[in-house]
Each structure stands twice: as C-alpha cells, then as structure tokens.
Chains A and B, each alone.
Chain A
Amino acid sequence: MGIETDMNSNVKKGVTYAILIVYSIFCLFPIYWLASTSLKPFTTIFTATPTYLFPIDTVWYQAILTYIPSWKIELATTGAITAESGGWYYIVPYLINSAIIATAATLITVFIAAFAAYGFSRFDFKSKQTFQFMLLSTRFAPPIAILLPFFIIYSHIGLRDTLQGLVLLYTFFNMSIAVLLMKSFIDDIPKDYDESSILDGAGRFQTFIRVILPTARYGFAATAILIFIFNWNEFIAALILTFLHARTLPVAMSTFVTAYGTEWGMISAAGIVAILPVFIFALLTQRYLVRGLTFGTVKG
C-alpha cells in the first residue's frame, strides 16, 4: 500500500513537472524564435526549413541602430533591401520618442495619482465607492472609442503628432489604475502611522510626504514600472494620433511589414530592443505584478 501510493505520487509529480515544462517551452519558443531570427544571417531566415544552428550575425542590429546607407546593408546581407528603404528601419528616433513619452506620462500619472490614492485610502466619505467605480469605468472602455474624439479635438488644437498629446492621453488612460493600485499600497500601511505623525504635530500633507511616501516607496515604484510598461507597449493610440514626428517604436515596427517584402531580421532585432527593457523591469517587480494587473484587488 505504502509503496504503491509513493509510486503513484511520484508518477503524478513527474507528469505535473512534464506539463509545466512543456508549457514553459510553449511560452518561451516564440521569444526564442524572435531572438534567434534577430541574429540569423539573411539566408537562414528566408528558408522553408527552420534553422536552429547558424553563424551569429549582428547585421540587423547595426541596420536598425545606426544610420547606414541602404546599399551597405544590402551588401552585408545580400538581401532584397532596395535603395528606397535607406533609413526607414533606423529605429533610434522612435526609440527616443517611446522613451520620452512613456517616462513623462508615467511620472505625471504617478505623481498626480499619489494624492488621490492617499485620499481614497485614508478618508471615508459617502460617494467613495461610486467615485472609485467611475474611475475604473474609464478603464473598461475600448481605447478606440476614446481615440476618435481625441483625434478630432487634437487635430483642431494642434496636438496631433506631438509628444505632449500622447503624454496627456496616456496620463488619462492610466490614471484610474494608478490611483487604485497606489491606494492598495497605502492601505497596507497601518493608520496608526498617520495618527502618531499627526499627534507629533505634523500636518496631513507633511504626514503624506514624510511617512506615507517613504513607507510605500516600493509599491509606488512598482506602480510606476507597470504603467511605464503599459505606455511603452501601447499601440493603437500612438498609431492614430502620431504620424512622423512623434511616432513610437511599436507603430514604427508595424510599418516594417510591407507588400513588397518584409525584413524579418530587422523586425526581430527591433522586437528584441523593444522587449528587453520591459523584461528586465517585469522580473524586477514580479512580486507586485499580480496586484498591479488586478488593479490592487489581489495581493499576490
């Protein structure tokens, strides 16, 4: 009996691990394929049979990160890149746009949201639930429904294709999640902290600055990182509201697929550039990830 149960549980354990490993491979394979395509020489990308072993070639990264004339790329890759594509794949301007927009929008969002989060956490008032729910409703709406009015108004007031325009919109997009998430982090701090600070003669504002901010700093940083990731990855708003001047990296990448042929090597290299910072951030803050993705509801 005892041996049998042991064997059963061992088999069960083995099967469970096998499932988890197969699922891990399923999750990792596309990322691996992206990375390997970005390092493959031209001839091994455009083949019917998949290649797993190949001499590493960094030409795609050179092509997207340095402004080199197209004929040089053509020579290096013996590929189909024609003269008109010179500079088209140079992603640095879009990378800078993405970084500026995502950073600015994140900082503004978190800065404003911190005050509201404190208010929602520390005060009880009649319409609290209603307010919170109304804020949250802005998050339920499909972005495209928000974007048509924004597009028309931005066209009138000259905010289309500007960095500020997108920063403003992203601030609006993420305000609700920032408020609710930061509220959940302040909720974790016992109210006694506030009270003893107030008893010591500090005002509410001072208490907020000197007690709440330092205590909740990791939670607030995690909120900022999560919102940065949302902003960094955002596509549809940037697609509709930007043209050339404020184009972000995801939008630029979507233009790399053309009817004349698609430069998969450069797309993959740009993809790796786009996901690398996000992966690092995500792994650093994974402790708070569940809470962040559920707007503070589930404290994983």
Chain B
Amino acid sequence: MRGFALKSVRKSRISLESYRPWVLPVTIVVMALAFGILFFLIYLSFVEFDPVTKAFPFQAAGNWLTLIGDGRALNALTVTAKYTIGCLVIEFFLGLGIALAVNSVTKGQSLFRSIYILPMMMAPVVTALIFQLMYHSQWGVVSYYLYQSGLLTRQEPLLGGTGVYALPAIMSVDIWQWTPFVVIILFAGLHALPQAPFRAARVDGASAWQTFRFITVPLLKPIIALVMLLRFIDLFRTFDYVYVMTAGGPTGGVTELISFYAFKVAFGFVKWGYGGTILLLILVAILIICNVIVSYAKIKF
C-alpha cells in the first residue's frame, strides 16, 4: 500500500520524494566547513604567521619538532588529563548516587529535578565569576569557612599562593555545574527502565546490592556510556573557568589546560602556525577517542 502510494506521487514530485533535497544541502555545507577547517589547520601546521610582513612562511616540520620538545604543551596535556579524569570520576559517582536517591523517593522528584537543572543552565563565565568571589582570599565566603575550620591558611588561599589548591578549585566548579547533568540524565534513564526484571529479582529474593549490580547497571550501561562521552567532550575543551579564574596560574601553569594553552599560543603570542599545530593534534586526538568510545560502547545517535 505504502509503496504504491509513494510511487504514484513520485511521478509528479520527483525531487522532494528523495532524501537528497532535504538532507544534502545542510550536510554538504557543514561537511565542507568541517573539512575546510581541518585542511586549514593542516596547512597552518606547516607554516608560521609573520605579523610584520603578514605572510605565512613555510616551516617544513618546524612546528611539529617544536611541539615534541615543548614542555609546556606536555604540562598542559598532563593537567588536562588530571582535570578530565578527576572530574569524570567524581561527577559519575556523585551523579549516579544522587540519581539513585532521586529515583528512590516518591515525593518531590520534580522539585529536586527543577533545582538540579539550574546550575548547568548558567553561563560558565557567570559560574566562574561567582566561584571566584566565593573562593576569594579576602572576601570569599567559602574561604572564610575554610579558614575558620582550619582546613585552609591565609598564606595558601584557594586560587592564589603557590597554587596547590588551584586545580582542585577549578575542578570543584566543573563538578558543581555539571554533576547535575549526570544526575538528570541518569535519573531519566533509571525512570525509563523496564520494571519486569526488578519484580523478578524481588521474587527471587535478590539483595538491594545484587539488584543494583546485576540488573540496574547492565540496563543502564548505554546511558552511562553516553553521559560519560558527553562529559568527556566538554571536560576536554574546558576553557571558560580557567580563563576567568586563574589564567593558567597562579604559578607555573598548574591550571593551564590544553585549550587555554592553545589559546595563549594562537592569540596571546600570535603564533598561528604553532597554535594550529597544537589544535590539529588535539582535534585529531579527540575525534579518534570519541569514535572509539562511540563504536566500543555502541552508542547510537
């Protein structure tokens, strides 16, 4: 029936009965831009911008050799790895715990959910600014209570001093803003789980832990993988918090994430060629990692 209907229409409206006019314009433009950017970065990685002559002299492998010997880039990658893994682990366990708690209560679910969506809706710049005030060494409310309880000294404040607390402080901002994201999505996942396996487990006398370990977790796995992928992408590109709160400091690049370092090279030192090299590296790295995660965890969009 359907085939017949479509076929008879196809004669008169050939063009719109195919996917091409609907899908191709957008796909082609977006892909052309994406490949344009990729090739532009490849080009940049072999040249360097000269601000005086406005020319792009050829560098051969110069940028790549610089990158191999660049201790600051290595530091930035290390800091990014610490930041990403640390936040990912904390946000996952905290988020899962809260999601399970919200899922287990009967009253107030929608109120809690409304509260939890607020942090992630804030502009990251606003978040960074308010945390900068709360962590301020003189006027900060969080600093005040930490000083009072003796957990922090005035010589070694959260965002200043020698910078021992700077990276955890930035991480705490991300954890504040984005754990609710994990909560909201895992809660939606828990909410949508089929009830039959849980009834069966109850009949079989499974303990709460067994039910969680052998039913909830396996059923929730695809959503967990998706949430972790999305968090990973955002954590790896974190820029706003560092730009506003520490600018990579306070000392020796302790909070210099790779996005921020690349920004500094490209726009601070106006080294477009070398900046492009770093960006090409992280772009290719992130695309490979994401592709591996997507195919390994069988995430289907």
Which A residues lie at the B interface, using CB under 8 A?
A: 13, 16-17, 19-20, 23-24, 26-28, 30-31, 33-34, 37, 45-50, 112-113, 115-116, 118-120, 122-125, 128, 131-146, 148-153, 172, 175-176, 179-180, 195, 198-199, 203-205, 229, 232-233, 235-236, 239-240, 249-251, 253-254, 256-257, 264, 267-268, 271, 274-275, 278-279, 282-283, 286, 289-290, 293-300
Q: Which of B33-41, B163-171, B197-205 contacts A (4 or more CB under 8 A)?
A: B33-41
Identify the interface centre among B130, B133, B188, B244: most chain A CB within 10 Å of its CB.
B130
Asked whether A16 lies within 8 Å of B40 as measured between CB atoms, the reply is no
Closest residue of chain B to A140 (Cβ to Cβ) is B290
For window 246-301 of chain B, which residues contact chain A by CB distance below 8 Å?
259, 262-263, 266-267, 272, 275-276, 279-280, 282-283, 286-287, 290, 294, 299-301
Asked whether A297 lies within 8 Å of B299 as measured between CB atoms, the reply is yes
For window 77-105 of chain B, which residues contact chain A by CB distance below 8 Å?
97-98, 101-102, 104-105
- Per-position binary interface string of chain B over residues 223-248, scored 1 when its CB falls under 8 Å from any chain A CB and 0 otherwise: 10011001001001101100110000
Number of interface residues of B (CB under 8 A): 97
Asked whether B130 lies within 8 Å of A198 as measured between CB atoms, the reply is no
* A94 and B290 alpha carbons, distance in the complex (Å): 36
The listed residue (B27, B44, B119, B188) touching A148 by CB distance below 8 A is: B44
- Per-position binary interface string of chain B over residues 187-219, scored 1 when its CB falls under 8 Å from any chain A CB and 0 otherwise: 111011000000000000000000000000000
Asked whether A250 lies within 8 Å of B117 as measured between CB atoms, the reply is no
Q: Is the interface of A mostly helix, strand, loop or mixed?
A: helix
Q: Enumerate chain B residues within 8 angstroms of A33, measured Cβ to Cβ.
A: 130, 133-134, 141
Identify the interface centre among B26, B108, B115: most chain A CB within 10 Å of its CB.
B26
* A176 and B240 alpha carbons, distance in the complex (Å): 23
Asked whether B301 lies within 8 Å of A132 as measured between CB atoms, the reply is yes
Q: A33-B141, A233-B123, A275-B123 are in contact. Are A141 and B113 (CB under 8 A)?
A: no
Asked whether A289 lies within 8 Å of B130 as measured between CB atoms, the reply is no
* A233 and B120 alpha carbons, distance in the complex (Å): 11
Asked whether A113 lies within 8 Å of B23 as measured between CB atoms, the reply is no
* A239 and B189 alpha carbons, distance in the complex (Å): 36
Closest-CB distance, B197 to chain A (whole angstroms): 19
- What are 18 A-B pairs with beta-carbon distances under 8 A? A27-B116, A30-B119, A31-B122, A50-B141, A123-B19, A142-B283, A148-B44, A175-B30, A203-B9, A233-B125, A240-B263, A249-B123, A264-B139, A275-B123, A286-B117, A289-B117, A289-B184, A300-B187
B131 at interface (Cβ–Cβ under 8 A)?
A: yes
Q: Enumerate chain A residues within 8 angstroms of B272, measured Cβ to Cβ.
A: 148, 152
Asked whether B13 lies within 8 Å of A203 as measured between CB atoms, the reply is yes
- Per-position binary interface string of chain B over residues 42-85, scored 1 when its CB falls under 8 Å from any chain A CB and 0 otherwise: 00100000000000000000000000000000000000000000
* A134 and B291 alpha carbons, distance in the complex (Å): 11
Asked whether B27 lies within 8 Å of A294 as measured between CB atoms, the reply is no
Asked whether B13 lies within 8 Å of A204 as measured between CB atoms, the reply is yes
Q: Enumerate chain B residues within 8 angstroms of A28, measured Cβ to Cβ.
A: 115, 118
Closest-CB distance, A272 to chain B (whole angstroms): 9
Q: A33-B141, A116-B22, A138-B34 are in contact. Are A290 and B130 (CB under 8 A)?
A: no
Closest residue of chain B to A234 (Cβ to Cβ) is B123
Those 10 A-B pairs whose CB atoms lie nearest each other, nearest first: A119-B22, A300-B188, A123-B19, A119-B23, A233-B123, A142-B237, A204-B16, A116-B26, A149-B40, A250-B125
Closest residue of chain B to A31 (Cβ to Cβ) is B118
Q: A148-B266, A198-B5, A293-B230 are in contact. Are A31 and B119 (CB under 8 A)?
A: yes
Q: Enumerate chain A residues within 8 angstroms of B263, measured Cβ to Cβ.
A: 144, 236, 240
Q: Enumerate chain A residues within 8 angstroms of B180, measured Cβ to Cβ.
A: 27
Q: A144-B279, A203-B13 are in contact. Are A24 and B112 (CB under 8 A)?
A: yes
Asked whether B287 lies within 8 Å of A232 as measured between CB atoms, the reply is no
Asked whether A294 lies within 8 Å of B226 as measured between CB atoms, the reply is yes
* A50 and B134 alpha carbons, distance in the complex (Å): 10
Asked whether A131 lies within 8 Å of B27 as measured between CB atoms, the reply is yes
B155 at interface (Cβ–Cβ under 8 A)?
A: no
Identify the interface centre among A26, A128, A148, A294: most chain B CB within 10 Å of its CB.
A148
Closest residue of chain A to B127 (Cβ to Cβ) is A30
* A142 and B188 alpha carbons, distance in the complex (Å): 27
Q: A50-B144, A132-B301 are in contact. Are A271 and B105 (CB under 8 A)?
A: no
Asked whether A113 lies within 8 Å of B114 as measured between CB atoms, the reply is no
Known: A275-B126, A279-B121, A286-B114. 16 other contacts (CB 8 A): A13-B105, A16-B101, A28-B115, A37-B130, A46-B139, A48-B144, A124-B19, A135-B30, A139-B233, A140-B287, A141-B286, A229-B121, A253-B129, A254-B244, A275-B121, A290-B188
Q: Enumerate chain A residues within 8 angstroms of B151, measured Cβ to Cβ.
A: none
Asked whether B287 lies within 8 Å of A136 as measured between CB atoms, the reply is no
Closest-CB distance, A126 to chain B (whole angstroms): 10
* A271 and B124 alpha carbons, distance in the complex (Å): 11
The listed residue (B138, B185, B237) touching A300 by CB distance below 8 A is: B185
Asked whether A279 lies within 8 Å of B267 as measured between CB atoms, the reply is no
Closest-CB distance, B182 to chain A (whole angstroms): 11
